[in-house]
Chain A
């Protein structure tokens, strides 16, 4: 089972915590909003991905099973 990161752009306020915790898969655009790599999260980054999801203050970042 693979999981992908999905951001709900309506909830996202651009706090940027996710990009700090998971720079391998999340970068910030010039306005501070996350650009999320939509490919399956590799096992090595699983823990960091979960940390990024739980760090989001607006609960905008999710891991979706695919």
Chain B
């Protein structure tokens, strides 16, 4: 992050980035937050009043699905009104994707911005309780930072709705929306069937807003500066900035805030044109570098290439790594992380992992590629959550992007000279009941 704050006001001009992270990269205590953003939460005085601004801003969820935030707010508020049941707000910082570090970084460096957003979201849907859900097993002790932040806020007298902190188990599906609600309600941390949507009937049966931590931070800034300010970066169709986790071929990783629509060429840094990049993380898409450098980081541009921004993960594969071996490791992990509730996912993912492991080795059976294609088609759209769909997306993109490498493996060769694993994959865990709680 080299962008310093320019401009004359303390907050810089509207196009300056970063907006969310402190330019100093030092954790922002309450007094620093208050100095930068103002020492009060810009409440609107009644439920619903913030929603038109959010609509005009065009803010979408930054957890990966890019769903319009105003529609979620409206759905929860409508359900709360029609059912006469007070809503609940859950801030989702359970960033479970091993390659992503943006929510943990945001919560560590700018907890007050997320907590401002949580209060504002609670007001917008008329909620009387809020929960912030995070992982405990990260590099930083995010839970303790949030406890300190909440103490500072109570002392400053800015909290209206009481915020509870809760911990997510270290599993890939922990941050999935229905899994969050299920776990906070005392159940296992695994997805449930929709309907009902959490916005209709979620935590404790109440209409529940589940919103990603970064999304809440953007919400707080829209409430402060208005929708026009928000739209001064990004594209017309996808406004604003977004946090990204960038992993380069040299093994370095950083979290940075970029405008949506930024050229991937500028984001990637030094690359070799015959290499490959993974866009959107482990439910994402492999693309040849030569194709990626023509694209921009927004869903409109990426969709044409079969990719999505997702949670903003952009990874460059080292030129001496084998993309098939890397994908095989990841898919094995994803198969082990299946909740095992739905037949197609339970049966399909381990088979896909095994076929990929075979393809990663020398002289795989010809049938393995066709099996993978078929299983990818068979699992898509057939789970209660999108875990099988995302896994199938990754597998299919690997079959296309690494087609030449697959041919090489068929002849008993591999262009990967470095067998050291590159993509971060937690140690595989056997599935037991306790793992989910």
Residues of A in contact with B (beta carbons under 8 Å apart): 8-14, 29-33, 35
Contact = CB atoms under 8 A, between A and B. Distances in A.
Interface stretch (B43-51, B98-106, B378-386): B378-386
B333 to A, nearest CB: 22
Interface of B: 192-193, 341-345, 347-348, 378, 382-384
A10 B193 contact: yes
Contacts of A33: 343-344, 347, 382
B384 A8 contact: yes
B321 to A, nearest CB: 33
21 contacts: A8-B193, A9-B193, A9-B342, A9-B344, A9-B345, A9-B382, A9-B383, A9-B384, A10-B192, A10-B193, A10-B384, A12-B342, A12-B343, A14-B343, A31-B343, A31-B347, A31-B348, A32-B343, A33-B343, A33-B344, A33-B382
A14 B348 CA distance: 14
A30 B343 CA distance: 11
Contacts of B344: 9, 29, 31, 33
A59 to B, nearest CB: 12
Nearest to B347: A31
B378 A10 contact: no
Contacts of A10: 192-193, 341-342, 384
Nearest to B374: A30
Contacts of B342: 9-10, 12
B343 A9 contact: yes
A11 B348 CA distance: 17
A30 B345 CA distance: 13
Which 3 interchain pairs have the tightest Cβ spacing?
A9-B342, A33-B343, A31-B347
A27 to B, nearest CB: 11
Nearest to A7: B382
Contacts of A32: 343
Contacts of A9: 193, 341-345, 382-384
A14 B347 CA distance: 12
Contacts of B192: 10
A29 B341 CA distance: 16
A64 B294 CA distance: 44
Q: Which of A8, A9, A11, A30 has the most CB of B within 10 A?
A: A9
Given A9-B343, A10-B193, 18 more contacts: A8-B193, A8-B384, A9-B193, A9-B341, A9-B344, A9-B382, A9-B383, A10-B341, A10-B384, A11-B193, A12-B343, A29-B378, A30-B378, A31-B347, A31-B348, A33-B343, A33-B347, A35-B382
Contacts of B384: 8-10
Contacts of A13: 343
Q: Which of B343, B348, B378 has the most CB of A within 10 A?
A: B343
Nearest to B382: A9
Contacts of B347: 31, 33
Contacts of A8: 193, 384
A12 B378 CA distance: 16
A61 to B, nearest CB: 13
Contacts of B341: 9-10
A13 B342 CA distance: 8
A55 B348 CA distance: 26
Contacts of B345: 9
Nearest to B342: A9
B115 to A, nearest CB: 34
Contacts of B378: 29-30
Nearest to B191: A10
Nearest to B192: A10
B434 to A, nearest CB: 20
Contacts of A31: 343-344, 347-348
Contacts of A14: 343
